[in-house]
């Protein structure tokens, strides 16, 4: 589809990122050169390729190169600590590594990572790695790829790439295309659209938002890094017409718009908010300044988007996260899973969708455990109303979602417990205006031990990824536990507030 677009409209702008642009012809040439480069270095059909990914035109080209060669990409968060990178690389069976020089040099300093295949350095030269600059010397003829049939894994998304065992979500080429086509239909996207992606490319949302325009024949606008000021500048200059943003980003954008008292942006036809439901007041203020249709969606990385709602089209459903896509069905499971909840009754949200991933890579049993009669148990709580609209009511599983990134509190506990002065600790979710939630830590110090917040933060800075960093640290006498001695993580905040520590 992408190559067809390149042939039909070679001069059309395919992508903008950080001041650089590429037409469809230029993009197709880059994809082919990249493919020829990787083939010439020994990358083969079915190989897994790890990339600590930044947002760039080259990263986008790599998605299409991977599809063309039938190789599987494993985008990694470059800020992950080396130990987590190693675990992720092993669980994803990664053979090759494409990275920036700083990443390779950091790895080398800290003992290195095992790369069985090829290493490529994206910026400059690095000993033992091929230089990406060679790509420019490669032919632009598309390499023959007879094997590729669409069932190949295209992307493994690491859901918990930290000290815990990662569950790599296996998404096939066909699945990625189907997900894009469903979003194109639901949001009425056309070749005329300019589609903005403003989250990191190792996040499934941005992957969707850059692949979608290029198979549609539209234009992709890729924000290199997110800050509200950069987003507004990009929106004013590049005039995007559609985006799916993380709700925490929208809240920050609104804050800045209000601070600057600027007129707002008028290029958008519609904006979709994902990750967490925005307050009605925030939505109204955003509509007032962004002058467009406003949607909310609900979904998971495993199932893709399940429901959508247009704020203006359903004025009596303001608190809902929407009505299921044609591809999806929703059930609300009662606690014992033996019956479905009745209308209005809260239970676990379970979804069945044609857009569901292949499974967790090499963890078939984990996917089976999450399924009930073909429905994926999301770990979220919710209910449906008499018209079939879904409402979100909280989370069943222990999870902190900060700026749309999932953080597993256990991963943080395991690291902080290694501090000698810590008797007990527990990470928990703390509400935050900017990011929705942030990581907080409750610490019980060992008797007669001195331990400061700074020491804990420094230790975390060295041993955890940036999104796992605790924003708040509370020293407590004991952690709340039930009669069986099990930690009651959801009660920590309440306990801290009752003790007047917050």
Partner 1 sequence: MTNMQDVKEFVTEYIQREYTVPEDKDIMILNYIEEGYIDSMGFIQFISTIEDEFGIEFEVEDIENPDMRIVGKLIEIIKDKLNA
Binding site for partner 1 (CB under 8 A): 18-19, 54, 78-79, 100, 102-103, 123, 224-227, 229-230, 454, 457-458, 460-462, 466-467, 469
- Nearest residue (CB) to partner 1, 40 versus 227: 227
Q: What gap in Å lies between CA 211 and CA 178, rounded to an integer? A: 11
Pairing of strands 168-172, 153-158: antiparallel
- Nearest residue (CB) to partner 1, 18 versus 93: 18
Shortest Cβ distance from residue 451 to partner 1 (Å)? 16
Maximum CA extent, the chain = 73
With beta carbons less than 8 A apart as the criterion, state whether 175 and 153 touch: no
Shortest Cβ distance from residue 475 to partner 1 (Å)? 17
Shortest Cβ distance from residue 452 to partner 1 (Å)? 10
* 3-state SS class at 187: coil
Shortest Cβ distance from residue 225 to partner 1 (Å)? 3
Shortest Cβ distance from residue 434 to partner 1 (Å)? 9
- Nearest residue (CB) to partner 1, 24 versus 226: 226
- Nearest residue (CB) to partner 1, 233 versus 258: 233
- Nearest residue (CB) to partner 1, 58 versus 193: 58
- Nearest residue (CB) to partner 1, 54 versus 241: 54
For 101-113, give one letter per residue: b (16+ CB within 10 A) or e.
eebbebbeeeeeb
Residues written for the chain: 502
Beta bridge partners, 395, equal: 380
With beta carbons less than 8 A apart as the criterion, state whether 11 and 26 touch: no
Shortest Cβ distance from residue 230 to partner 1 (Å)? 6
Shortest Cβ distance from residue 455 to partner 1 (Å)? 11
| H-helix segments, 239-279 | 247-260
Q: How many CB atoms lie within 10 A of CB 263?
A: 10
- Nearest residue (CB) to partner 1, 250 versus 351: 250
- Nearest residue (CB) to partner 1, 345 versus 466: 466
Shortest Cβ distance from residue 423 to partner 1 (Å)? 24
* Category of 56 on φ-ψ map: left (φ > 0), alpha (ψ -120 to 50) or beta: beta
- Nearest residue (CB) to partner 1, 55 versus 270: 55
Q: What gap in Å lies between CA 434 and CA 402, rounded to an integer? A: 9
Q: What sign does the dihedral 87-91-95-100 (CA atoms) show?
A: negative
Q: What gap in Å lies between CA 1 and CA 217, rounded to an integer? A: 9
Q: What gap in Å lies between CA 212 and CA 258, rounded to an integer? A: 32
Shortest Cβ distance from residue 93 to partner 1 (Å)? 25
Tokens of 446: 């060992």
Shortest Cβ distance from residue 189 to partner 1 (Å)? 27
Q: What gap in Å lies between CA 195 and CA 414, rounded to an integer? A: 40
Q: What are phi and psi of 150, to 5 degrees?
A: 100, -15
Q: What gap in Å lies between CA 325 and CA 497, rounded to an integer? A: 41
Shortest Cβ distance from residue 340 to partner 1 (Å)? 40
| H-helix segments, 110-246 | 173-186, 204-216, 228-238
Tokens of 148: 């590729």
Beta bridge partners, 444, equal: 424
Shortest Cβ distance from residue 459 to partner 1 (Å)? 9
Query: SS3 string of 302-348?
Result: CCEEEEEEECCCCHHHCCCCEEECCCEEEEEECCCCCCECCCCCCEE
- Nearest residue (CB) to partner 1, 146 versus 462: 462
- Nearest residue (CB) to partner 1, 181 versus 230: 230
Q: What gap in Å lies between CA 249 and CA 230, rounded to an integer? A: 11
- Nearest residue (CB) to partner 1, 462 versus 486: 462
Under DSSP, the state recorded for 357 is -
Tokens of 309: 């709602």
């Amino acid at each position: 589809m992408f190559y067809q677009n390149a042939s039909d409209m070679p001069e059309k702008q395919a992508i903008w990122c950080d001041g650089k642009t590429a037409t469809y012809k230029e993009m197709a040439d880059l994809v082919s050169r990249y493919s020829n480069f990787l083939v010439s270095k020994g990358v083969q059909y079915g190989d897994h390729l790890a990339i600590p990914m930044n947002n760039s035109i080259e990263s986008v080209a790599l998605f299409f190169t991977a599809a063309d060669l039938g190789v599987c990409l494993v985008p990694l968060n470059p800020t992950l600590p080396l130990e987590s990178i190693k675990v992720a690389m092993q669980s994803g069976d990664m053979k090759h590594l494409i990275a920036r020089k700083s990443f390779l040099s950091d790895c080398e300093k800290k003992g290195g990572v095992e790369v069985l295949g090829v290493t490529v350095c994206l910026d400059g030269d690095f000993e033992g790695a091929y230089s990406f600059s060679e790509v420019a010397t490669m032919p632009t003829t598309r390499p023959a790829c007879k094997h590729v049939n669409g069932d190949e894994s295209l992307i493994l998304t690491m859901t918990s790439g930290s000290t815990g065992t990662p569950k790599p979500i296996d998404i096939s080429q066909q699945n990625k295309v189907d997900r894009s086509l469903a979003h194109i239909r639901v949001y009425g996207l056309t070749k005329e659209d300019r589609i903005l992606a403003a989250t990191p490319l190792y996040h499934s949302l941005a992957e969707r938002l850059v692949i979608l325009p290029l198979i549609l024949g539209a234009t992709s606008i890729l924000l290199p890094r997110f800050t509200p000021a950069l987003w507004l500048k990009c929106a004013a200059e590049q005039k995007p017409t559609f985006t799916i943003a993380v709700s925490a980003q929208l809240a920050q954008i609104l804050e800045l718009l209000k601070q600057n008292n600027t007129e707002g942006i008028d290029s958008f036809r519609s904006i979709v908010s994902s990750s967490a439901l925005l307050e009605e007041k925030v939505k109204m203020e955003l509509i007032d300044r962004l002058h467009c249709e406003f949607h909310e969606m609900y979904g998971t990385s495993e199932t893709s988007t399940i429901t959508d709602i247009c704020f203006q089209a359903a004025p009596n459903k303001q608190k809902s996260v929407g009505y299921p896509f044609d591809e999806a069905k929703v059930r609300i499971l009662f606690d014992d899973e033996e019956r479905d909840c009745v209308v209005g009754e809260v239970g676990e949200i379970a979804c069945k969708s044609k857009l569901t991933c292949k499974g967790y890579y090499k963890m078939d049993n984990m996917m089976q455990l999450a399924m009930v009669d073909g429905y994926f148990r999301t770990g979220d709580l919710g209910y449906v109303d008499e018209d079939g609209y879904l409402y979100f009511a909280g989370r069943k599983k222990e999870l902190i979602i900060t700026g749309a990134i999932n953080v597993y509190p256990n991963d943080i506990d395991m690291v902080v417990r290694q501090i000698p002065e810590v008797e007990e600790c527990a990470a928990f979710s703390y509400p935050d205006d900017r990011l929705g939630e942030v990581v907080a830590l409750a610490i019980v110090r060992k008797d007669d031990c001195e331990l400061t917040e700074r020491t804990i933060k420094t230790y975390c800075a060295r041993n955890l990824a940036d999104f796992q960093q605790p924003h708040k640290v509370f020293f407590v006498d004991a952690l709340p536990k039930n009669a069986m001695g099990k930690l009651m993580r959801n009660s920590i905040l309440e306990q801290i507030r009752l003790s007047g520590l917050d």
